[in-house]
Chains A and B, each alone.
Chain A
Amino acid sequence: MSTTLQQVFDKAKSENRAALIAYIPAGFPTQEGCKKVIKAFVDGGVDAIEIGFPYSDPVMDGPTIQAAAVTALANGTGAADVFEALKCATDLGVAGVVMTYWNPIERYGVDEFAAAIAANGGSGVITPDLTIEESQGWVSATDQAGVNRIYVVAPSTTDARLPLVTKMCGGFVYAASLMGVTGTRSSVSSGAPDLVARVRRSSDLPGAVGLGVSTREQAKGVAGYADGVIVGSAFINKVLESKSEGDALLAIEELARELSLGVREGR
């Protein structure tokens, strides 16, 4: 049985466009505010939502997502809030996945975590610091729960290793566009098209590009060669820059709408 996430990519493919995936950490700017952001994402036309599990030591994240995690943790955000936000997204009809560093999964219980993803309508989990070598328990847990495992591959991932990673993936393969941490950048790395092409050669799964995408033009450019466009820090910046929650939600919906146009213009 395919997950909602897989259906989202199938649909985007049939429409000859890329899928748009938006990221927000649970509990940011508040637990209730997060739900409003999710609604704004959906109203703006995103195809899938990534709920971040805020973590104390996010080594793959730049200053923007670090700042959001600090706020979310100060709000007391925990696993229950992550699942509640996930359910909020999936109840609105979009595909929902959770992005989390590994330790919170291990602490919650590997089998229990995968089961809770499924129970809240979630399609998969993105695990940026879980290597395939350490994945034995996770593979059986996610298979049991019917949840997609989404690993992040990088430009430095060798041709020899890439198929070993992509064969463990489901839903899509997360291609980190550059060697670096999350955050908006003035241009998307020139290494991204090459990495996506290499993902395609090693796997039949869709390849989605994250790290550095923040504008409609960038989304359009990435959609020209990738199956999905992932945007995180740009949305968080809207919250950090806005004077009020209302302003932030309007700006987020507007950006989502712009980006959703971008992913339809690439081809």
Chain B
Amino acid sequence: MSVEQSEVLGHFGPYGGRFVPEALIGALDELAAAHQSSQSDPAFMAQLNHLHATYTGRPSIITEANRFAEHAGGARILLKREDLNHTGSHKINNVLGQALLTKRMGKKRIIAETGAGQHGVASATAAALMGLECVVYMGEEDTKRQALNVARMKLLGADVVPVTSGSRTLKDAINEAMRDWVTNVETTHYLLGTVAGPHPFPSMVRDFHKIIGEEAREQVLALTGKLPDAVLACVGGGSNAIGIFHRFISDPSVRLIGLEAGGDGVETGRHAATITGGTMGVLHGTRSYVLQDENGQTIESHSISAGLDYPGVGPEHAYLHDIGRAEYRAITDKEAMEAFALLSKTEGIIPAIETAHALAGAMKVGRELGPEATLLINLSGRGDKDVQTAAQYFGIPL
């Protein structure tokens, strides 16, 4: 297959592509065309940049975490503060872009899946801003874990549909959203929240998040005069990670390190570390690494973090792993919660539990590289939504 053909079909080496019902091909083609034309349309990009400047709060700042750094081998720790974006995470970058595309395609209804609720909240926010109808599918299990975000979505005017099929978590919310999309594809855009799914989602969602790395690279250069030694981010589906990695892929001196959710430990089988512990397969329309059994059935993932609790991962990450450009490690629930508490107490920043996996990774990598190293970490989300989970974990009475 030629490179051009490969790009048209959305492949990253052997990964990516489209494994979907024929009913969706027209909508995916329409979306790919809308995305492609919008990327070279100055008016569209100006509109998106204006929203980021006046609504999202971009550019997000860099914070140097000196006290936290003492626990990370003394390495220089720089936090890219996506947690300060409107709605509290990086998710808003993608959501505003896709909501604008929805309007560009003349559609009036968006559907979205959500795990932790961050993408659902961001989608509901964009829908409210742009006058779109919004339905969010959320695993019933997650609606309990993230009750606060359910209330936020409802306040923003979205319908939240608890999904009771399968494991009642993110993967089943995606299944239900895809069923809705197959049925209502003429009027509805599926606002997928991560860099997975069928083409063009992995490259389109990356394009909306790559601003994170573009800003951060300039900010780090301005602050330190050199590139960071490593860039770290948590990886569930992988959107915040690909967002901060992308601009650095062509900088060979910069290590790219993705931290997956190790749950109780990869060796226990109760985890969500798809690259570390999975195998090549097809899930939700794309070929990537998947947690699956010998019959190709998806294995339920486990993580204290609802946002990372997904048995698949974006195909570009699978490719970056296989070619050795990025490395992926697993962080256990326990390690993530220690980092969660540590950042809160040393820097006055309560991170999302998802993000805490990246911070735990930074503690390890900092100790490996020592005080000469500079680490850039994507602080992808804030922890307000996780206060209840954290309080329970640490035995704080509510």
Asked if residues A102 and B23 are in contact (CB atoms below 8 Å), the reply is no
Report how far A130 CA is from B20 CA in the complex, Å: 6
Q: Nearest residue in A to B18 (C-beta to C-beta)?
A: A131
Asked if residues A133 and B17 are in contact (CB atoms below 8 Å), the reply is yes
Report how far A180 CA is from B182 CA in the complex, Å: 5
Q: Dominant SS at the B interface?
A: mixed
Known A-B contacts A129-B20, A152-B21; the reply to A58 vs B296 at CB < 8 A is no
What 9 A-B pairs come out closest when comparing CB atoms? A107-B296, A154-B23, A104-B296, A103-B296, A180-B183, A59-B178, A103-B282, A56-B297, A56-B298
State how many angstroms separate the Cβ of A157 from the closest Cβ of chain B.
5
Known A-B contacts A59-B182, A131-B20, A165-B22; the reply to A107 vs B175 at CB < 8 A is no
Looking at the complex, which of B40-48, B246-254, B287-295, B378-386 is the stretch in contact with chain A? B287-295
State how many angstroms separate the Cβ of B371 from the closest Cβ of chain A.
47
User: Given the complex, which residues of B lie within 8 Å of A151, measured CB to CB?
Assistant: 22
User: Given the complex, which residues of B lie within 8 Å of A56, measured CB to CB?
Assistant: 166, 297-298
State how many angstroms separate the Cβ of A17 from the closest Cβ of chain B.
27
The yes or no answer to A12 lying at the interface (CB within 8 A) is no
Interface string of B10-23 (1 = CB under 8 A from A): 00000001111111
Known A-B contacts A60-B182, A107-B281; the reply to A128 vs B21 at CB < 8 A is yes
**The one of A134, A157, A180 that contacts B26, using a Cβ cutoff of 8 Å:** A157
Asked if residues B298 and A57 are in contact (CB atoms below 8 Å), the reply is yes
Report how far A161 CA is from B165 CA in the complex, Å: 33
Asked if residues A106 and B282 are in contact (CB atoms below 8 Å), the reply is yes
Report how far A241 CA is from B50 CA in the complex, Å: 57
Asked if residues A59 and B22 are in contact (CB atoms below 8 Å), the reply is no
Report how far A69 CA is from B195 CA in the complex, Å: 28
Known A-B contacts A57-B171, A131-B18; the reply to A66 vs B165 at CB < 8 A is yes
User: Given the complex, which residues of A lie within 8 Å of B178, measured CB to CB?
Assistant: 59
6 further A-B contacts with Cβ under 8 Å, apart from A134-B9, A156-B25, A179-B185, are A102-B19, A103-B282, A106-B281, A106-B296, A107-B292, A156-B24
Report how far A176 CA is from B24 CA in the complex, Å: 12
Report how far A128 CA is from B22 CA in the complex, Å: 8
* Chain A 21-72 interface residues, beta-carbon cutoff 8 Å to B: 55-60, 62-63, 66, 70
Asked if residues A103 and B292 are in contact (CB atoms below 8 Å), the reply is yes
Asked if residues B19 and A134 are in contact (CB atoms below 8 Å), the reply is yes
State how many angstroms separate the Cβ of A144 from the closest Cβ of chain B.
21
Asked if residues B296 and A108 are in contact (CB atoms below 8 Å), the reply is yes
User: Given the complex, which residues of A lie within 8 Å of B296, measured CB to CB?
Assistant: 55, 103-108
The yes or no answer to B270 lying at the interface (CB within 8 A) is no
User: Given the complex, which residues of A lie within 8 Å of B185, measured CB to CB?
Assistant: 156, 179
Known A-B contacts A131-B20, A133-B9, A154-B21; the reply to A78 vs B26 at CB < 8 A is no
Asked if residues A103 and B281 are in contact (CB atoms below 8 Å), the reply is yes
Asked if residues B22 and A179 are in contact (CB atoms below 8 Å), the reply is no
User: Given the complex, which residues of B lie within 8 Å of A105, measured CB to CB?
Assistant: 296
Known A-B contacts A102-B19, A103-B290; the reply to A129 vs B295 at CB < 8 A is no
The yes or no answer to A79 lying at the interface (CB within 8 A) is yes
The yes or no answer to A141 lying at the interface (CB within 8 A) is no
Known A-B contacts A106-B296, A107-B295, A129-B20; the reply to A59 vs B281 at CB < 8 A is no
User: Given the complex, which residues of B lie within 8 Å of A179, measured CB to CB?
Assistant: 23, 182-186
User: Given the complex, which residues of B lie within 8 Å of A55, measured CB to CB?
Assistant: 296-297
Residue pairs across A and B with Cβ atoms less than 8 A apart, 16 shown, are: A59-B21, A59-B175, A60-B21, A70-B166, A102-B282, A103-B281, A103-B296, A106-B296, A107-B296, A129-B282, A130-B19, A133-B9, A133-B18, A176-B23, A180-B179, A181-B183
* Chain B 283-326 interface residues, beta-carbon cutoff 8 Å to A: 283-285, 287, 290, 292, 294-298
User: Given the complex, which residues of B lie within 8 Å of A263, measured CB to CB?
Assistant: none
